[in-house]
Amino acid sequence: MKILKSILIFLLSVSLYPDEIRVAVLGEPEELRLKVETALFNSPFCKIIELNKRKDVLNEVKLGQMGVLDEEKVARAGKLLGAQKFLTVYQKGDFNSLRLIDVETSSLDSAWVYDHKSENEENLPKMDSLKGISRVINKMLEGLAVKKALADLSNSSANKIEVKINLPKKKFKMGESLTFEVISGEDGYLTLIDIQPDGSVVQLLPNKTGQSNQIKANEVLKFPPQDIILKISQPLGKDTIKAIVTKKPLSLFPKIDLDNETISSVKQGLGVHATKGISMTIKKVPDGDWGMDEIMFDTVE
């Protein structure tokens, strides 16, 4: 539980939302639901809605396979409860999942999944149910902390270079190819990162494909290049792409924090550390020598 405690300490020092977000936690088993409620109760940005006395509303909201809510009933139930988000918990055998549903849009915001059966297949010691629950809760808390750390960049007053991301659409299905364009108001060096729904961080550029990350003023840079295909895969929910342009080359992530893939991801468990490093690195760049844009899109089955 040391990881869980350290993440909670980090969350207590920041605010993910300007006001408390009202969350209703649904699902079974009760043990998992109560652990999730406790973790969120100890965070500064969530207000847990008591559901025990609202069985009339609970009867309207039925969880399906994998803890999925009936989308047609989400908005109505959310308004009755005064909830902004539903967090559904689901456990079956070796599989645990947490899904954050936005009430207003009835869409999946974030998802965290842990299947310790698959890890056992990698010759790891068999993990008991309680440790599996703690693992998926840790994933959720780290994911929220990652989103907070990266959101801080958008509010920086030193963000001066005009940067624009153009995405062909705002919703992509599993298996679809992802392409987009970036335009900068000044010459510079482009860093692209993708924050996935579970808080995982992928550095799209620079990468090991050989594509230069230099960008010319007012010229369109297309990503990925024609010889690279990016396809939508798990986890599904809301992805965020951030494009950062600096006048000098920028190394956001130490190599030790990245895996060895052609397009690298921040190693599991290092998301909070890495994104705090981003904020520290950007602060070292002179005011006006960098700029950023970000765009969110939905990924669905």
Q: Where are the domains of the chain?
A: 2-147, 156-300
And the tokens for 263? 């397009």
Per-residue pLDDT band for 1 (boundaries 50, 70, 90) equals very low
Per-residue pLDDT band for 275 (boundaries 50, 70, 90) equals low
How much is the pLDDT for 6? 41
Cβ 258 vs Cβ 267: under 8 Å: yes
* Rounded distance between C-alpha atoms, residue 155 and residue 62, angstroms: 39
How much is the pLDDT for 154? 64
Model confidence at 71: pLDDT above 80: no
How much is the pLDDT for 183? 97
CATH topology (fold) of 156-300:
Immunoglobulin-like (2.60.40)
3-state secondary structure 44-107: CCEEECCCCCCHHHHCCCCECHHHCECHHHHHHHHHHHCCCEEEEEEEECCEEEEEEEECCCCE
Question: Average pLDDT in the 165-173 region?
Answer: 94
Q: 75 or 175: whose pLDDT is higher?
A: 175
* Rounded distance between C-alpha atoms, residue 240 and residue 37, angstroms: 26
* Rounded distance between C-alpha atoms, residue 233 and residue 132, angstroms: 23
Model confidence at 98: pLDDT above 50: yes
Per-residue pLDDT band for 273 (boundaries 50, 70, 90) equals low
Model confidence at 211: pLDDT above 90: no
* Rounded distance between C-alpha atoms, residue 144 and residue 7, angstroms: 10
In sequence order, what are the beta bridge partners of 99? Answer: 88, 111
pTM equals 0.68
Model confidence at 196: pLDDT above 60: yes
Share of the chain above pLDDT 70, in %: 65
> What spatial distance separates the first Cα and last Cα of the chain, rounded to whole Å?
33
Per-residue pLDDT tens digits for 5-20: 443 333 333 333 445 6
How much is the pLDDT for 277? 62
Dihedral through CA 91, CA 98, CA 128, CA 117, nearest 10? 80
Q: Give the DSSP letter of residue 135.
A: H
Question: What is the SS3 assignment for 255?
Answer: helix
Which numeric CATH code is attached to 2-147? 3.90.950.20
Q: 2 or 69: whose pLDDT is higher?
A: 69
